Structures are given as structure tokens and as C-alpha cells.
Structure 1
Amino acid sequence: MRASLIQIAVNPDETVETRRARVARLVREERGAAELVVLPELWTTGAFAYEDFVAEAEPLKGPTYEAMSAAARDAEVWLHAGSVVEAAGGALYNTSLVFSPDGELAASYRKIHRFGFDKGEAVMMAAGTDLVTVGLPGLTAGLATCYDLRFPELFRGLVDAGAQLLVVPAGWPARRLGHWTLLARARAVENQSYVLACGTAGTHAGVEQAGHSLVVDPWGEVLAEAGPDEETLRVTLDPAKVTATREQFPALKDRVL
């Protein structure tokens, strides 16, 4: 499977509408180059732009849904469209959207672990409760978002649900870049799964973003890593490598808890 990670720069001088249209064009440009395209967390508003969450919140089938559905259909790709601020039932959620190549919604995931330590996202957004996987050609993907990366139990649950590929969109701060790359590799090694970790670039709400999106194989080797600026990573994933790794070093079979 050919995968593209589009590391979006969230520029505060660019309107949400302009960025949405620009990102849709970038997705369409992957037509013929990828079967799977991944975008970062909250690339519409910025993961740290808390003051904009209420104003920019949208229903599940809002403007970002419509734009990304059309882009996935035009590019004929599976599209993990990153996440949006979803307004539902009087609450806000950090919700990821996955579209099939025909533009249909294949899965959505509400972020379970909210970042902020009793402020920001942690108090403004409700927590998701469901582990979510989605079947892609040759691989089952497990969905997680940013801060989730620090909680290995979630990923064990995804592996138990059949995940061979872990997709983690993020808006990770540059000051903790070392944790980002370390945790992405750790989740790959301990779960013997591919990890596609797609972050944002630029600076928004005064917080410099880490960038450095990366793809890690089931043995923990980094197949590709971006720099700090807007960039597209393109890699080829071999589903057989997950099976081979788990058979050659069957650590998952020795789990007790």
C-alpha cells in the first residue's frame, strides 16, 4: 500500500476556508501516487487555538466533511482527514474522519485522551469512549490522536481489535519533539505494527509545532521522516511485514495482561 502523509502548516494569517480549500487541492494531487492519504490533527483551526474552538466547531457532516469527502473521491484514495472540532449534542469533540475512495465516511473517532491538564482541550471538549478500527486494502488501521500516543493501553486495545497499522494525526509542540519520535517508535515496536504519525508545521496560538511526521515499520525502523516545515511524505507499506515480524518475534503471544 502506498501512503502519503501531508504535514500541513497551520498559519494564523490563513483563513480556515482558505486552508480547507488548499488542503483539498493537496489531497487531489496525490491521485495516482497513493492509496492512503493522512492529514494532521485539527489542521483547520490549530490544536492549540482554544479560543477558536467554539466559533469554528462544525457538525460531523459540516464543511470539512464535505470538502474532504469530495477530495477523497476525486483522488480515489482512502483519506484519513485528520480531525475537526465537532459539535454534537451540546458538546465539542476532537473527531477524526476517514473516507473511502468513493467519498463515503468509513469511520470516525472521537479522541479519548484530551490534552491540557485541566485547561484548554481537557475542559472544552468531551472525551470519546470507543476504540475504532477501519479495514483498508491489505491492512486494518487503528485510530488514535496526538496525546493518545502517551497511553499504550489504547494501542493494545486496537491491536486486540485486529490493527496492523496505527494512524496518529497530531498537533504536537516542538518543545517535546523528542517524545513524539520516541513514542511513535515505541508504539510500533511494542505492537509490531506500522505507525503513521502525521503532525502539523508552523506556529499557531503562539505554539511552535514539531512537524517531523514519521512512518515507522513493525520492527521500529523509521521509513521516512519529515522536517519542520510543510511537506508530504510518501512511503510504501508491505502488509506481509506485519505478519512476518509477529511470526519471527512472537512477543505478542507472551502477553499476560
Structure 2
Amino acid sequence: MKVACIQMDVLHCRKQENLDKALCMALKAVEKGAELIVLPEVFSTGFCYENLSHAAESLPSPTLENLACFSEANNCIILGSIIQKDSGEGRGKDRGEDVREDGGEKGFKKGEKGFSGNEIPGTNFTESKNFTESKNFTESKNFTESKNSALYYNLGFCFESGTLAGTYRKTHPFKAENGYFSKGSSIEPISLKKQSLKIGFEICYELRFPEVARKLSLAGADLLVTTAAFPNPRSEHWKTLAKARAIENQIPHIACNRTGSAPDCTYFGNSMIIDAWGEVKADAGSKECVIVYDLDLAGKADIRKAIPVFEDRRIELYSDS
């Protein structure tokens, strides 16, 4: 399968420009034959804490509507994350709001307006009332809200040919994120129907938790995807951990990081496509770019046979602490 990373400089709090850029870069990936495309963490806004009510979107989300249309028009899979506002309806459903059993989601309908890859970006995207915060809601750095107030999540998404295959709420927010985002409570692979593929999806900081990738692998993930905003000066951590997650789980890994700068830090990029042996097949370096590689998803079975790590695990000796 040809897979791609979109390594982009996410413009702080500039949703329209980021969406336009992401879709143009995704189109370049499709033109190179990519069937699966990964975007960086919170690609549409960055960590726009100072204007969270504008950055966040309720579902159905205008940004995700555009990605759904792009995915359908180009018959591709696209993953990334955005900031989600959960106003309370369907709260407790960690896989997102109003998710249907068929893998689709209320509000994501085929044939609706959106960027398909054949139009000029920006012409169909409109900000809706989902971006307008109610007058009674007050942002708080301590995130002490009443039960009736909105909650925010770092929401991972996966579209397959226009259908929402699944969502994932980040379960391990990093430092400042804990002051703004609630934690997800479920770690399960996202199942694709057309490709008969299970994707283990994790977000940024979760790369440091081997338990996350292992849980996804034990649950049958065929491929690990990490969407990230991993900053300087931790590039060596990023490269080492991304390869380690592939090696120890004997699974291909697409690790997509952003580049550029935010108000409080800079980013080094180094998005990578890694095979199940842990070999880096494509590295984006530090600049904005699209990397594409034809990844062998069938090879992990032979690797696990040659080095039977999963068969040799001694679960009775491992502590949960």
C-alpha cells in the first residue's frame, strides 16, 4: 500500500489557511499514488488555547466534512487530529459522537459540498455556528467546568473513501494539554472495511508509552499510525521511539510530525515511514513536504515467525504497575 505523510507548518489559530494547505498537499500525495495519508496533530489550528472556542469544532465538523469529501473523491484513507468540542450530547462515547454501527457518523454524508481535489481550496469551506461559543461558557486554564459545559478533546479521525471509519480521543494529554483537554478512555484499533485493515492510532506524546502500541498490536492492528506535534529539542527521542515502536511490535509505523513554529516552540519535522523491521524507508527531514512510500503490510507475519516475540511473551511475570 502506498502511504504518505503530510509534513506541514501549522499556522497558529489560522484554520482556513491550514485546511487549504493540508488539502493541497494531500492532493500531491494522491497524485503520487498514495492510498493512505496522515496529517499532523491538530493540523487545522495548532494548540490554539487562547481562542479555543474558535479552534474547536463540534461534530459534524466543517473541517472533517471537507476531509470526508476529499477522501471520497480520491478513494483514499486520511487520518489526523483536530480539537473537538463536546457539548454533552452522547457524552461518554469515547469513539466520538453519534457513531453508527456501520462505521459512519451522523453528519458525514456522501455527495455534500466539500473540497474534492478538483476545486480551488477555500471556496466551499464556511465557518458554522459550531465555531461560535455560547455566551454562558467561560474558558478556564484549570478546566473546572460544570456538568452542562462543553468538554474539549484532541480527536483523532480516520476516513476511508468518504466514510468515517473511526475516531480516537487522545488518552495521554501532554503537560499543558491537561489544562484544556479531557482524556479519552479507550484504546482500540480502527477497522477499515474496504481494505480489511486495522489501524493502531496514537497521538504524539503517546509514542512514549509502549503500552499503547502494544495494546493496539495485541488487538490485531496491522499498521501503527502516530500523528504528532513533537517539538525541538527532542528530535532524537522522536526518531528512536518511532523506530522502537515498530521493532518491538513487528509492525509498520507511519509517524507524521509537523514542522515550523508556534508561539512557544519550534518543530523539527522528521516524519518517517518505517517498515516492520524498524527500517526507515522515508524521512521528511525538516521542511514542509509530502513523503510517499509503497509499504509492505503483509511482511509482519514472516517477521513474527522469524523472531517470535509475541509467542514468547510471559504474561504471568509482567507487572501492571
- The one-letter code matched in structure 2 to 1:86 is Q
The alignment's C-alpha RMSD in Å is 1.5
2:152 to 72, 92, 97: 92
2:253 to 190, 195, 198: 195
* Greater fraction of residues in helix: 1
Deviation at 1:139, TM superposition (A): 3.8
Deviation at 1:26, TM superposition (A): 2.2
Partner secondary structure for residue 78 of structure 2: strand
State the match for 2:11 in structure 1. 11
State the match for 1:107 in structure 2. 166
State the match for 1:152 in structure 2. 210
Tell me, yes or no, if structure 1 residue 34 matches structure 2 residue 93. Answer: no
Indicate if the aligned counterparts of 2:207 and 2:226 stay in contact, CA closer than 8 A. Answer: yes
Deviations 1:4-52 (A, max 9, x none): 111111134x8311221221222233335111111110111114x4323
Deviation at 1:71, TM superposition (A): 1.3
Unpaired runs of at least 5, structure 2: 89-149, 316-321
Indicate if the aligned counterparts of 2:252 and 2:297 stay in contact, CA closer than 8 A. Answer: no
- The one-letter code matched in structure 1 to 2:157 is L
State the match for 2:273 in structure 1. 215
Deviations 1:168-207 (A, max 9, x none): 0000002111110110011011100011000111001231
Tell me, yes or no, if structure 1 residue 130 matches structure 2 residue 189. Answer: no
For 2:266 and 2:309, the matched residues in 1 are separated by 38
For 1:92 and 1:251, the matched residues in 2 are separated by 38
For 1:60 and 1:255, the matched residues in 2 are separated by 41
Unpaired runs of at least 5, structure 1: none
State the match for 1:173 in structure 2. 231
TM-score (norm 2): 0.75
Q: How does 1:61-100 map to 2 (within 5 A)?
A: 61-80=60-79, 82-88=80-86, 89=88, 90-100=150-160
TM-score (norm 1): 0.92
Indicate if the aligned counterparts of 1:45 and 1:53 stay in contact, CA closer than 8 A. Answer: no
Partner secondary structure for residue 291 of structure 2: strand
1:244 to 281, 298, 302: 302
- The one-letter code matched in structure 2 to 1:207 is C
State the match for 2:44 in structure 1. 44
Larger radius of gyration: 2
Give the paired residue count: 250
For 2:14 and 2:173, the matched residues in 1 are separated by 25
State the match for 1:234 in structure 2. 292
For 2:19 and 2:64, the matched residues in 1 are separated by 10
For 1:145 and 1:4, the matched residues in 2 are separated by 17
State the match for 1:54 in structure 2. 53
Deviation at 1:138, TM superposition (A): 5.7
- The one-letter code matched in structure 2 to 1:226 is A
For 1:52 and 1:200, the matched residues in 2 are separated by 21
